[in-house]
Amino acid sequence: MGVFDKVKGQAKELKGKVEGKVEDVQGKRKADDLLDDLGRFVFAERTNRPIADAETEITRIVGELQKLEESGVAILPA
């Protein structure tokens, strides 16, 4: 049983690492999508084609980005 327990422990450790990496990738992907959305609002504003309810959406997007950043997702380059 000792070998089986050791293998089982290693499998759990590997699973934890993989899940952590998946969460990192998902967080970065979510941040990229939010930044794309934010960029569209800024572009529309700067080209004199404002979008209705832009301020509300910008505030929501910035809030979501801040939450991601607080959870450890890098939003801006260091």
The domain tally of the chain equals 1
- Domain assignment of residue 3, yes or no: no
Burial 6-38 (b: 16+ CB within 10 A, else e): eeeeeeeeeeeeeeeeeeeeebeeebeebeeeb
Using one digit for the tens of pLDDT, what is the confidence trace for 11-44?
677 666 666 676 788 999 999 999 999 999 999 9
Predicted TM-score (pTM) of this structure: 0.72
- In which domain, by residue range, is 60 found? 48-72
Q: Is residue 57 part of a domain?
A: yes
In a domain, 5, yes or no: no
In this structure, is residue 68 part of a structural domain?
A: yes
Of the pLDDT bands very low, low, confident and very high (cuts 50, 70, 90), residue 54 is very high
